[in-house]
């Protein structure tokens, strides 16, 4: 057989055909793996058609890289964000909520726990009267004196300042005093720390001035019983223990004398603290109910005591 010469037309034709067949394979092997490395796609071109299988699997596991347009815009946007000044804190307006300190089991001056019982054990009762003094305080003191009963009067600061003689009589007859704020705010816990501190400290000062030198105010009662860790701690820091109750007569709503009497007779247990009112409105029902309750209490063996301190 005759072997074709390297320069023959047949060799040239075979070489050309082989080059045509191998060109796509060689070009595919030389193309970049990252579609972004080749530059922006031509108009109308599909990015997914140029992606290799490995590139598609990696894009499913991680967020895609930012496009050139987003990358070029990012520095100026970040520059504006970092240059913006931080907001200036503004003080709480009056009546706004202030963060409460963590609850404390004790504080300088005593415990912050709320008192719900009389100081002594046994068949005792601690009578308490809120919102005075008022024109009804004298009538209540007269009834208490008839039965040798003692009570605790939780007074409003300005009320005490307006009736210093009543405050002095409370003390002279062996009763005790409790701080019931300046303005009787409700709900108290929503006030700023400074406002709550004022309500408690200023009321104690007013009551003390009305009572005269040596006046002691041993307890603090939050209006409506709205105690919080914050106002309890403030009270203890001013030498007072938070005072609650175990029997609520709801006499402030004037439900009727029979209802007030029944609340005590059905709800009282030995060592209980009874809540009534000598101020804040018409307290004629309270006076009438007390006229029935005092003999009932003594008949049932109750003695009168003050709340625990």
Residue 63 backbone class (left: φ over 0; alpha: ψ -120 to 50; beta: rest): beta
Residue 242: its H or E element: strand 241-242
Q: Could you give the CA distance from residue 157 to residue 241 in angstroms, rounded to a whole number?
A: 17
Give whole-number Cα distances, 236 to 44, 83, 104, 105, 217, in Å. 78, 47, 10, 11, 12
Residue 20 is predicted with a pLDDT of 41
Q: Which residues contact 237 (CB under 8 A, 6 or more apart)?
A: 107, 108, 109
Instruction: Catalytic residue, from 130, 131, 278, 305: name it.
Output: 130
Q: What is the per-residue pLDDT across 130-154, written as a single tens digit (0 to 9) for each?
A: 999 999 999 999 999 999 999 999 9
Q: Under 8 Å CB-to-CB from 251, ≥6 apart: which residues? A: 260, 276, 277, 283, 285, 286, 289
Topology given in CATH for the domain delimited by 111-304 = TIM Barrel (3.20.20)
pLDDT tens figures, 240-285: 999 999 999 999 999 999 999 999 999 999 999 999 999 999 999 9
User: Is 266 marked active-site?
Assistant: no
Burial environment of residue 298 by CB neighbours within 10 A (0 to 12, 13 to 18, 19 or more): middle
What secondary structure does DSSP assign to 266-306, as a single string? Answer: HH--TTEEEEEESSSS--HHHHHHHHHHHHHHHHTT-EE-P
What local confidence, expressed as pLDDT, does residue 289 receive? 98
Mean pLDDT, to the nearest integer, of 228-239? 97
Give the pLDDT band of residue 111 (cuts 50, 70, 90): confident
Tell me, yes or no, if 277 is annotated catalytic.
Answer: yes
Q: Which residue has the higher pLDDT, 76 or 110?
A: 110
Q: What is the pairing mode between strands 247-248 and 110-111?
A: unpaired
pLDDT tens-digit series, residues 6-59: 444 444 444 444 444 444 443 444 333 333 333 333 333 333 333 333 333 333
Write down the pLDDT at residue 263: 98
Task: Give pLDDT, residue 107.
Answer: 52
Residues 75, 78, 80, 83, CA torsion sign:
negative
pLDDT digits (tens, 9 = 90+) for 44-99: 333 333 333 333 333 333 333 333 332 333 333 333 333 333 333 333 333 333 33
Full-model pTM: 0.67
Rg (CA), the chain: 43
- Is the confidence at residue 202, as pLDDT, over 60? yes
Angstrom CA distances, 253 to 225, 280, 292, stand at: 16, 10, 19
247-248 and 272-277: which strand pairing? parallel
Q: Which of 175, 180, 184, 277 is catalytic?
A: 277
């Amino acid at each position: 057989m005759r072997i074709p010469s390297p320069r023959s037309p047949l060799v040239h034709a075979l070489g050309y055909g082989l080059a045509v067949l191998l060109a796509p394979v060689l070009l595919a092997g030389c193309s970049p793996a990252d579609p972004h490395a080749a530059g922006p796609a031509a108009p109308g071109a599909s990015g997914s058609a140029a992606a290799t299988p490995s590139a598609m699997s990696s894009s499913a596991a991680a967020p895609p890289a930012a496009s050139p347009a987003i990358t070029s815009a990012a520095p100026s946007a970040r520059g504006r964000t970092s240059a913006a000044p931080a907001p200036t804190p503004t003080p709480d307006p009056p009546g706004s909520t202030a963060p409460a300190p963590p609850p404390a089991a004790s504080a300088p001056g005593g415990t912050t726990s709320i008192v719900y019982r009389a100081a002594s054990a046994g068949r005792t009762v601690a009578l308490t009267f809120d919102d005075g003094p008022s024109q009804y305080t004298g009538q209540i003191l007269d009834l208490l004196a008839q039965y040798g009963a003692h009570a605790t009067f939780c007074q409003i600061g300005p009320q005490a300042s307006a009736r210093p003689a009543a405050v002095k009589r409370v003390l002279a007859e062996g009763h005790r005093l409790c701080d019931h704020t300046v303005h009787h705010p409700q709900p108290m816990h929503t006030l700023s720390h400074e406002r709550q501190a004022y309500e408690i400290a200023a009321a104690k000062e007013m009551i003390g001035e009305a009572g005269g030198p040596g006046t002691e105010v041993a307890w603090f009662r939050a209006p409506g019983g709205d105690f919080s860790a914050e106002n309890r701690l403030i009270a203890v820091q001013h030498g007072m223990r938070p005072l609650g109750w175990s029997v609520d007569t709801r006499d402030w709503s004037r439900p009727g004398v029979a209802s007030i009497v029944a609340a005590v007779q059905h709800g009282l247990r030995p060592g209980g603290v009874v809540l009534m009112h000598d101020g804040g409105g018409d307290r004629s029902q309270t006076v009438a109910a007390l006229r029935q309750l005092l003999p009932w209490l003594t008949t049932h063996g109750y003695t009168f005591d003050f709340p625990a301190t």
